[in-house]
Amino acid sequence: MRKFVSFIFLFLSVLSVAQTKTVYTDIDNKISKIPVELRNSTTGIAKFITDNFKTDTEKIRAVFYWTATNISYDVSNMFSPNQLETVQEKIENTLKSKKGVCIHYAEVFNDISNKIGIKCRVIEGYTKQNGKVDNLAHAWCAAKIENKWFVFDPTWGAGGITNGKFIKKLNSAYFKVEPSKIIASHMPFDYLWQFLNYPVTNGEFYGGKTQLDKTKKYFDFEKEIVLYYNISENDQLFESAGRIEKNGLKNAMILEDYNIKKKQWNNLMQNANIEKLNTIVAELNEAVVLLNDFIMYRNKKFKPTFSDEVINKMIQTPREKLAKCQKDIFNLGMVGSEDKSNLISIKKTIAEALVQADEHALFVKDYLSKSKLIRKTMFSKVSWFGVPLN
């Protein structure tokens, strides 16, 4: 079972922003009047936004405003979020209770954004306030607006905690933030999601050295993100873990996320290899059936009569299948301790079957090289290999 990083954050201080009339006031007022019947699902919210707003900036502002003002920070569960919730359960439970911690804000924001056609993703990482790195992981979002990535933190944009109580206060400082600015306070575990051509290391983040440094090696994050979305989940996890390690396992939060990704990759690889093993077993079953068919035919002294070509094919086909099974199973990666003994047993079965197939192939080769008269004297009873595997 996947173990989740605890995405909780004590947003004790927030950037001060005057909550007077802004360029977004009309958008905020309109989204605040969304009909009650549309508020309980991201599909309903997305429909209202799509029907009432035109540009991507207007739409993403509506998403931010709705998420930040309609969800209250769940102070009572800030240190014990339900780690067994699926993404969909997080979203549904949050919309129902109108409460959650940062991962809930982020998942709701992300789901609505994607449903209105804006490319968005949840970012996992840690943060810094007033020069101090927090010791709990955080989650926020990034979305691509007008072909450029911006960062959004609906949790920090929702308000703050004073004397143990959540105080709602919209903070637009965390709406559509330039990656080069937000990096001073928000550090992704995987530097791919910094959206910077000269990524900041974890050590630099701790030291407050987040300014642009062109002496570093250029990193084409746009190209790398395109590649990321075009590879398998296995490869995504593998490469992400590599970037996390490269950027420095500076604290326990980073190390935990790194280990989670490695474990997820390991589990996916094992599952994929078990699927391959099942395919190998199915091919082995076919090969054993064909081998036994040949043995039966040989015990009947090659009756009825077939051409030499057909007889040769009758043994070469299972032999080739068994050889392929042997090659595939030895190229198979890890399958986990539970299937290790089964793997050993299958390897042994393939090897034994292949030995018999080779012996029968030699017999056929010798048989076909003889005259018809001598062929009649070559038969002796041979036993079946056994039965196919279940």
The HSE-up count of residue 270 (CA atoms within 13 Å, CB side) is 14
User: Has residue 261 been placed in a domain?
Assistant: no
Same domain, 283 and 202: no
Decide if 168 is inside a domain. Answer: yes
Domain end (from 230, 246, 261): 230
In a domain, 384, yes or no: no
> Which is nearest to 78 in space by CA: 7, 126, 152?
7
- Distances in Å between the Cα of 6 and the Cα atoms of 93, 185, 201, 263, 327 are 17, 18, 22, 17, 43
Number of domains in the chain: 2
Domain span at residue 286 reads 272-375
Same domain, 110 and 209: yes
Residues in the chain: 390
Task: Name the residue among 22, 113, 114 with its Cα closest to residue 66.
Answer: 113
One domain, residues 225 and 290? no
**Residue among 177, 123, 98, 113 nearest 9 (CA):** 123
In a domain, 248, yes or no: no
Does one domain contain both 215 and 114?
A: yes
362 occurs within a structural domain:
yes
- Which residues are CB-neighbours of 304 under 8 A, at least 6 positions away? none
Same domain flag for 73 and 167: yes
pTM attached to this predicted model: 0.80
Q: What string of pLDDT tens digits covers the 390 residues of the chain?
A: 333 344 444 444 343 334 456 799 999 999 999 999 999 999 999 999 999 999 999 999 999 999 999 999 998 887 776 678 899 999 999 999 999 999 999 999 999 999 999 999 999 999 999 999 999 899 999 999 999 999 999 999 999 988 889 999 999 999 999 999 999 999 999 999 999 999 999 999 999 999 999 999 999 999 999 999 999 999 999 999 999 999 999 999 999 999 999 999 999 999 999 999 999 999 999 999 999 999 999 999 999 999 999 999 999 999 999 999 999 999 998 888 878 889 999 999 999 999 999 999 999 999 999 999 999 899 988 877 764 444
- The verdict on 282 and 222 lying in the same domain is no
Closest CA to 112 of 51, 41, 35: 41
163 and 226 in a single domain? The answer is yes
The CA-atom distances, in angstroms, between 375 and each of 148, 301, 316, 347 are: 79, 9, 19, 35
Q: Contact, 149 vs 179, CB < 8 A?
A: yes
If asked whether residues 65 and 165 sit together in one domain, one would say yes
Give me the CATH number covering residue 68: 3.10.620
Residue 290's domain is classified under what CATH number? 1.20.58
Does residue 106 fall inside a structural domain? Answer: yes
Choose one of 230, 248, 263: the last residue of a domain. 230
Task: Specify whether 30 is located in the same domain as 148.
Answer: yes
Query: Quick one: 304 and 359 in the same domain?
Result: yes
Answer yes or no: is 381 within a domain: no
Q: Is 224 helix (H, G, I), strand (E, B) or coil?
A: helix
Shared domain for 172 and 313, answered yes or no, is no
191 and 62 in a single domain? The answer is yes
In a domain, 252, yes or no: no
Distance from C-alpha of 298 to C-alpha of 278, rounded to nearest angstrom:
30
Which of 167, 197, 230 lies at the terminal end of a domain, its last residue?
A: 230
Residue in 201, 182, 203 with CA at minimum distance from that of residue 190: 201
